[in-house]
Amino acid sequence: MRRALVAVLACAACRTAVDADALVRTRGVDGAAVALADRVARDPRDAAAWIALAEVETTRGRPGAALVALTRAEALGAPFARGLPAGPRRALAGLYVERARARVLRASPGADADVRRARALGAALDDDLARAAERLALAADLAHVDPARRARAAARLAAVAPDLARGLATAATDDEVATTAAWLDRHRAARRAFEILDRRVEERLAEGGRPRWPTATAARWLELRRWWSGTLDPIDRPTVDAIAAAAGGTCAYPSGPVDPACDPIVAAGATEPDGPAWEPALVVAWDRAGWRAPDGDRAAAWMIVAARAVARGQRASWERAVLDHVEVTAVAADPQAPRWASAVAAALAADRAVAPDPELPAPIAGLLAARVAAAPLRDRAAGAAAISRAAPDDRAAVIAVARAYGRDPALADRRAEELAGRALDRAAIAPVLARLFAALGDPARARVWWQAAVDASPDEPDLLEGLALAMVDAGDVPAGEQLLLAAAAASGDAGRTYLRAARSFAAIDAHLAAVAAARWAIELAAPGDEAAPAAIAAAALAALGRPSSEVAALAAAPAALDLTDARAAVARVVADPDRDRAAAALATLAAADDPGLARLALAAWHALIADRRASRSPGE
């Protein structure tokens, strides 16, 4: 054994430095990269080759590939002495600094790990960058379900950001509490934000007053309290009304469809092009309560609000949203309703498409025009690229990967690695490639790229969720469910994470996984808010032949968060006789953030593409 170890070390000591410049001169930069990649494939412990490969990849404009190569070389070190030579060490530190900057810009908690790695390599860092990165890491810890982790982060915050830490203290001023709560809420730590806001309200009420907060903070407290406490909140109505008045409009605790603080007429008539800030909460309140517009004016207002909800991705189907909340037959015959609203209602009552009309309000007219103007996607590759949500600068490269896949999946793997190598932050480009391969019908490759994203930045809950869903798509349900637990724990809203997962599993008919995720979503829902996950669980149990009256009772309340809305949106597009336009619209829906809608649309897109191919003549 000893003799074998000596032989291995002697062999390692024989490895010599690689002259990257000479390789480039003789083989060209691409040829040098191929030669070095072949060398490290044959001997992955050749640190000198990894360092030379990093130098060549930097010359090729592939910082991501250079970072991977230098990281491998650093892990190997030189024989008998770990670490990198001074030059590669500086290069690796510089790459970590640049990636930390990129991650701060996208609010990734992984930026702090890059800062620490760069410091360990001797880099001199900008103090502002280091503070911003550590704040993001602490915010992620404050959003975590682990109380010990949250406590450590709160203690550390005093040294990193004393201005924010003051807002956590009982002696904080109202303004300090408001500032810290806004920061926490912005970075997923909604529960901690709610706790400090709610504590301040209780303190001021005990003193006979109310907190002196800006309107946005008053609205934030009401929304967070409703999110945490649900419909069974014992809060007294006078307190709600007083703070709602100070908030200048909120839909956290609406008293009904004509509540002045949550009125669709007020929202529809707002001057902001996308509606007032509280309009998304209005949509949630109406969907949760199942309210119907009590008159023609509010019916018209709801049609406008619903169109904006579809535009921002909050609802999938405008027609379904209108039918959920408007008595279309009555509005069609109402002489007091706006003429355009009566025409819309009449069309929906007769199950006809809504015709363009110069009187239609801008949000509705824009929605209908976008459907007609949907740019046809020339081939499957372009559609898959659209579904991947590729950035404009990456779009051509992503389409090239998709087209390569049609010729040979192994060629697509090389194209994908080339694209990933150009990206400094692999955690940002890997999800694009994962969605691309999912769109191409390859769940195994999609899982590989979600895994690459998590490996590059393991503390991002969205990446953990993406990998968990991909595992289930690929048939590995136990692993997916286990990872989903980690994603939920880090997400800041575990109930929402499980609800998204339940929708996703239900959309691909993974009924057992849907029931399991929905069960967790029901348990984690605020009291009285169990209807949406219960509706998914009830449908999944029925599909399994095991209906449950108890679950059905929980789902009895209107629940627009089940898959009804998503199915309606997909069905409307599938019914479009223009197949090219339908394909483009389905690709747009398949790129939605909602995994349930995305998976339903993706299945319909694949079916449409297959049907279109089958209908072509041999010469086409």
Q: How does pLDDT run across 124-166, given as a tens digit for each residue?
A: 889 999 999 999 999 999 999 999 999 999 999 999 999 999 9
Mean pLDDT of the 574-593 span: 91
With beta carbons less than 8 A apart as the criterion, state whether 386 and 377 touch. yes
User: Which CATH number is 2-131's, of 1.25.40.10, 3.40.50.12280, 3.30.300.30, 3.40.50.300?
Assistant: 1.25.40.10
Do the Cβ atoms of 119 and 125 come closer than 8 Å? yes
pLDDT in tens, 47-90: 999 999 999 999 999 999 999 999 999 988 644 345 788 899 99
pLDDT of residue 60: 93
- The structure tokens listed for 278 are 């509280």
Nearest to 47 by CA among 10, 71, 78, 68: 78
The partner residues of 81 in beta bridges, in order of sequence, read 78
What's the rounded Cα separation, in Å, for the pair 244 and 261?
A: 7
Residues β-bridged to residue 78: 81
The percent of residues in the chain predicted with pLDDT above 70, rounded, is 93
Copy the structure tokens of residue 41: 């494939």
Task: Please name which of 387, 374, 319 lies closest in space to residue 597, comparing C-alpha atoms.
Answer: 387
pLDDT higher than 50, residue 4: no
pLDDT above 60 (res 582) = yes
What is the pLDDT at residue 248? 66
Using alpha carbons, list the distances in angstroms from residue 170 to 56, 92, 195, 243: 56, 44, 11, 21
How large is the angle between the packed helices 443-456 and 426-439, nearest 10 degrees? 170
Mean pLDDT of the 472-500 span: 95
Residue 474 amino acid letter: A
Coil, strand or helix at 167: coil
Residue 283 CB contacts under 8 Å (≥ 6 apart), including other chains: 305, 306, 309, 314, 315
**How far from chain centre, in Å, is Cα 483?**
16
- Rounded to 5 degrees, what are φ and ψ at 475? 95, 0
Angle between helices 395-407 and 380-387 (to 10 degrees): 130
pTM over 0.85: yes
For residue 81, what pLDDT is reported? 44
Residue 6 has pLDDT above 70, yes or no: no
pLDDT, one tens digit per residue, over 323-361 is 999 999 999 999 999 999 999 999 999 999 898 899 999
Tell me which residue of 244, 238, 240 sits closest to 263, measured CA to CA: 244
Over residues 269-297, mean pLDDT:
91
Which residues neighbour 1 within 8 Å (Cβ) at sequence distance 6 or greater? none
What pLDDT was estimated at residue 347?
Answer: 95
Does pLDDT of 1 surpass 50?
Answer: no
What does the pLDDT read at residue 292? 92
